[in-house]
Structure 1
Amino acid sequence: MAASSLISTHFHSSSPTFSPLSRSPNRKFLPFPLSKPFSLHKPTASTSPILSLHRKTQKRSLIPPSKSYCPPCLHKLLLATKNPFSSGLESLLILCASAALSLSLFIADVDPASAFVVTPPRKLQSDELATVQLFQENTPSVVYITNLAARQDAFTLDVFEVPQGSGSGFVWDKNGNVVTNYHVIRGASDLRVTLGDQSTFNAKVVGFDQDKDVAVLHVDAPKEKLRPIPIGQSADLLVGQKVFAIGNPFGLDHTLTTGVISGLRREISSAATGRPIQDVIQTDAAINPGNSGGPLLDSTGSLIGINTAIYSPNGASSGVGFSIPVDTVNGIVDQLVKFGKVTRPILGIKFAPDQSVEQLGLSGVLVLDAPANGPAGKAGLVPTKRDAYGRLILGDIITSVNGKKVSNGSDLYRILDQCKVGDKVFVEVLRGDQKEKIPVVLESKADET
């Protein structure tokens, strides 16, 4: 509008009778002076049909003065006669419009090449949006653990470190404690933890529990880099509810797999000691090599378990996955952080494989050894031994503890897990043909390095 007003003012001052197309509010249309008959078909040499100066008004007119026209000829004249300023005005308006568009693009900081490209937004379903949000919010809490082992060169005798395994873990608290599986760090001479922002720190072992396959590491990372994972509970889980596993399978960056809880209260054996782990969560979410130690989350993004194993008859990563429940992990981690070890009660015996007892046609736990300085040895349990002729003399067979039946080693471990260090339990044994009840005071497990 400013450019248009400026142009109108300029031509108003220089040409009082500017074209009838002018829209100035102070302009009045002037009648065409037609004093004499005139024919456009035979113009005179002294008169120009384009522009002439009227003597009485001294104003410029686009129509030759003192001429008369018939209506058709006048119409043709108006169409043929072109305003010398109209084309310039149109060009100027186009230039102003182009300048305004360029200025708007510059102010909006829009790429001119894509200013007129309309990209339709990606449409996701509500459950997809929830999954994407869960992954984005919990990925910073998941870490990548590298297990380094010391090796000695056979020729130079130099000692160097080589990666012997890797796994996943997650940040437990702001103090730098990281939780993972014990089998991820087993046999390591050096450990490195890579956080969600790809920063790497050396880690030291705080403590571990071989029986439950849980370990706690510590990293000296800034607190602003540590994102503890939300802790949930596993007591109220239901078969069929959705679960999400985040980890670093095959050494890749953070990966999400999803599935449902396909079973509860399962039991697996610890990879280190063979001791059973109860109340394990069974899921069909893919748990590949490298997912071990990573978190299993519910639909709210809360931790409900640690991915620890997969059962695959054909050796592929498409079998049934197992996760240690968070209610079990919670108590173990608290003890490891406070004391560096888990004070789990033991009987202090070594027992025969379950198959050996079944072959004898018996039910229970056959005692192979009971060290004299252990709880069972102090209480007087009899181990298995050979006589002077090499014949095998069976030791005591434990059939119950505190009135609870013991059919195999898993039953015995399950009962001991419900006891505490210092508790007195009554062990019923089959000694020869007689049954006896022997009181035993439980002691803690010896320290391990």
Structure 2
Amino acid sequence: MGVSWQNRSASDDQEDIQPVSGEVTSTPVPTTTGERESTPAAPLLDNEQHTIDLFQHAAPAVVFINTSVYEKDYWSTNVYELPQGSGSGFIWDNQGHIVTNYHVIESAINGGKATVTLADQSVWEAEIIGYAAERDLAVLKIKASPSQLTAINVGASHDLKVGQSVYAIGNPFGLDQTLTTGVISALGREIRAKDGTPIRDVIQSDAAINPGNSGGPLLNSSGQLIGVNTAIYSPSGASAGIGFSIPVDEVRSVIPDLIQYGKIRRPSLGIVPYTSTSYKINGVLILQVAQNSAAEKAGLHGTDRDRFGRIQWGDIIVQIDDDEITNLIEMRSVLEKHNAGDQVKVTVIRNANSGSQKEVTVDLVLDDVN
């Protein structure tokens, strides 16, 4: 990774420079070496003042995160603290919860250490409260007093538009409190978390995001959090004008679980689906219903045999809330949008392989798969 410098030659300075239009005048340049008087600065443009105000309001909520691990010397009993990496994060609330990327603090999970530097340069040792590798999100907690904590202003991401302005604040290459600007380049992108799980509906922007920006906030022009900067697309590892951010609607659905349970409570219907392709079924056939599960409590039926040994199909799930279900992949994608404890309406076809077929809709409170 390096810096590319653009060299200028003497011939570059000898090229003819033509004015665009009109007469060009300039202040005479002194012919002798000496002091120069400064000219008064022009008033800031409205958009410049807006950016300054936005940064000054949002920057106190952005933090610098360092991680390290402890290693024992092979030849002695000495234990050394070895730096592992750095990244960004932001203050979620006045209770000291800090949101960042999982990959920023991964090395500190098993016996390592994470420290958080606030905008006032105070340094705090952080406790890892919870994380979700499959969403690349994590929550830390520091014991700072509420008066020292400025929580980020949280917005929404479902109504974002390509072309709207965005602002990223972070610590690229350890340079804290760095602001970069850009626009939303695309929406609905998909990237992969470290464990290979797809992260959907990702925001793509051209705001410069470099190593160290990970975990920092992406803001809209109102200074509201709309995403968590998480990755860049670059052969060199530096910004190439393509950055990706986890949308804030996803963050808002995950963080409460990480704070309360230390993990995401993955939603489950409490069924064993039929996965064979022997039958061409439009929907998801329930093979078994788990005991004391959400499906059993809602009265859903699994596959069974009648007294003559003939197979009686279980319920076939064809819709969850407003989402049509035609296969298992679609059902899993729909469930990923929910949390354990959410109530959903499940529509099934009952007695599908008999003459008494009917459609049934039940209310179901999703289980925690863990």
Q: Same fold (TM over 0.5)?
A: yes
Matched, 1:310 2:229: no
User: What secondary structure sits across from 2:134 in the alignment?
Assistant: coil
Q: TM-score, normalised by structure 2?
A: 0.67
Select 2:62's aligned residue among 124, 142, 155: 142
Contact 2:67 2:115 in 1 (8 A): yes
Higher helix share: 1
Task: Evaluate the alpha carbon distance shift between residue 380 and residue 321 of structure 1 in structure 2; reply closer, same or farther with a 3 A threshold.
Answer: farther
Contact 1:312 1:318 in 2 (8 A): yes
User: What secondary structure sits across from 1:186 in the alignment?
Assistant: helix
User: What secondary structure sits across from 2:209 in the alignment?
Assistant: coil
Letter in 2 for 1:254: Q
Could you tell me which residue of structure 2 aligns to residue 122 of structure 1?
41
Matched, 1:293 2:212: no
Select 1:268's aligned residue among 191, 198, 208: 191
* Structure 1 CA distance for aligned equivalents of residues 71 and 120 of structure 2: 30
Contact 1:313 1:319 in 2 (8 A): no
Map 1:376-387 onto structure 2 (within 5 A): none
Select 2:135's aligned residue among 202, 212, 221: 212
Could you tell me which residue of structure 2 aligns to residue 252 of structure 1?
175
> How far apart are 1:279 and its partner, in Å?
2.3
Contact 2:94 2:151 in 1 (8 A): yes
Could you tell me which residue of structure 2 aligns to residue 321 of structure 1?
243
Could you tell me which residue of structure 2 aligns to residue 330 of structure 1?
252
Q: TM-score, normalised by structure 1?
A: 0.56
Could you tell me which residue of structure 2 aligns to residue 221 of structure 1?
144
> How far apart are 1:313 and its partner, in Å?
5.1
Select 1:241's aligned residue among 160, 164, 168: 164
Contact 2:156 2:249 in 1 (8 A): yes
Could you tell me which residue of structure 1 aligns to residue 101 of structure 2?
181
Q: Can you give the 5+ residue segments of structure 1 that lack an aligned partner in the other structure? A: 1-116, 352-356, 365-369, 383-397, 429-438
* Structure 1 CA distance for aligned equivalents of residues 241 and 330 of structure 2: 24
> How far apart are 1:257 and its partner, in Å?
1.1
User: What secondary structure sits across from 2:107 in the alignment?
Assistant: coil
Contact 2:170 2:212 in 1 (8 A): yes
Map 1:420-431 onto structure 2 (within 5 A): 420-421=340-341
Select 1:413's aligned residue among 311, 333, 357: 333
Task: Evaluate the alpha carbon distance shift between residue 421 and residue 300 of structure 1 in structure 2; reply closer, same or farther with a 3 A threshold.
Answer: closer
Q: Deviations over 1:189-232 (max 9, x none)?
A: 11100011111010001222233222111111133321112111
* Structure 2 CA distance for aligned equivalents of residues 405 and 231 of structure 1: 33
Q: Can you give the 5+ residue segments of structure 2 that lack an aligned partner in the other structure? A: 1-35, 283-287, 304-315, 350-361
Matched, 1:152 2:75: no
> How far apart are 1:441 and its partner, in Å?
9.0
Matched, 1:283 2:227: no
Letter in 2 for 1:289: P
* Structure 2 CA distance for aligned equivalents of residues 407 and 283 of structure 1: 33
* Structure 2 CA distance for aligned equivalents of residues 245 and 363 of structure 1: 47
* Structure 1 CA distance for aligned equivalents of residues 343 and 158 of structure 2: 26
Map 1:1-12 onto structure 2 (within 5 A): none
Select 1:170's aligned residue among 80, 90, 97: 90
* Structure 2 CA distance for aligned equivalents of residues 233 and 422 of structure 1: 20
* Structure 2 CA distance for aligned equivalents of residues 155 and 142 of structure 1: 41
* Structure 2 CA distance for aligned equivalents of residues 264 and 187 of structure 1: 31
Select 1:132's aligned residue among 52, 55, 72: 52
Letter in 2 for 1:156: S
Contact 2:265 2:339 in 1 (8 A): no
* Structure 2 CA distance for aligned equivalents of residues 290 and 381 of structure 1: 51
Task: Evaluate the alpha carbon distance shift between residue 419 and residue 162 of structure 1 in structure 2; reply closer, same or farther with a 3 A threshold.
Answer: closer
Task: Evaluate the alpha carbon distance shift between residue 414 and residue 157 of structure 1 in structure 2; reply closer, same or farther with a 3 A threshold.
Answer: farther
How many residue pairs were aligned?
Answer: 304
* Structure 2 CA distance for aligned equivalents of residues 119 and 223 of structure 1: 44
Task: Evaluate the alpha carbon distance shift between residue 409 and residue 150 of structure 1 in structure 2; reply closer, same or farther with a 3 A threshold.
Answer: farther
* Structure 1 CA distance for aligned equivalents of residues 84 and 301 of structure 2: 45
* Structure 2 CA distance for aligned equivalents of residues 139 and 168 of structure 1: 12
Contact 1:363 1:408 in 2 (8 A): no
Could you tell me which residue of structure 2 aligns to residue 112 of structure 1?
none
| Alpha-carbon RMSD | 4.3
Letter in 2 for 1:444: D
Could you tell me which residue of structure 2 aligns to residue 13 of structure 1?
none
Q: Deviations over 1:356-399 (max 9, x none)?
A: x9xxxx999xxxxx9x99989x99999xxxxxxxxxxxxxxx99
* Structure 2 CA distance for aligned equivalents of residues 335 and 151 of structure 1: 32
* Structure 2 CA distance for aligned equivalents of residues 210 and 171 of structure 1: 20
Letter in 2 for 1:167: G
> How far apart are 1:186 and its partner, in Å?
1.1
Could you tell me which residue of structure 1 aligns to residue 266 of structure 2?
344
> How far apart are 1:236 and its partner, in Å?
1.9
Task: Evaluate the alpha carbon distance shift between residue 422 and residue 291 of structure 1 in structure 2; reply closer, same or farther with a 3 A threshold.
Answer: closer
Letter in 1 for 2:95: N
Task: Evaluate the alpha carbon distance shift between residue 363 and residue 298 of structure 1 in structure 2; reply closer, same or farther with a 3 A threshold.
Answer: farther
Range moving further from structure 2, 337-346 or 199-208: 337-346
Contact 2:233 2:242 in 1 (8 A): yes
